[in-house]
Amino acid sequence: MARILLIALDTELRRSLEFALAAEGHDVTSRASIAAPHEPNFDCTVLDHHAVGADGAAAAAFCGRHAPVILLANQASHPLAPWTFRTLLKPLLGLSLTDAVYEAVAARSATK
Domain boundaries, the chain: 3-111
Per-residue confidence (pLDDT) for residue 38, from 0 to 100: 67
Cα Rg, the chain, nearest whole Å: 13
Query: Residue 41 and residue 54: Cα distance in Å, rounded?
Result: 25
Per-residue confidence (pLDDT) for residue 84, from 0 to 100: 97
The number of angstroms, rounded, from the C-alpha of 100 to the middle of its chain's C-alpha atoms is 10
Per-residue confidence (pLDDT) for residue 67, from 0 to 100: 94
Task: Provide CATH code, domain 3-111.
Answer: 3.40.50.2300
pLDDT at 111 over 90: no
Whether residue 29 contacts residue 3, with contact meaning beta carbons closer than 8 Å, is answered with yes
Query: Residue 90 and residue 59: Cα distance in Å, rounded?
Result: 19
Whether residue 16 contacts residue 37, with contact meaning beta carbons closer than 8 Å, is answered with no
pTM: 0.94
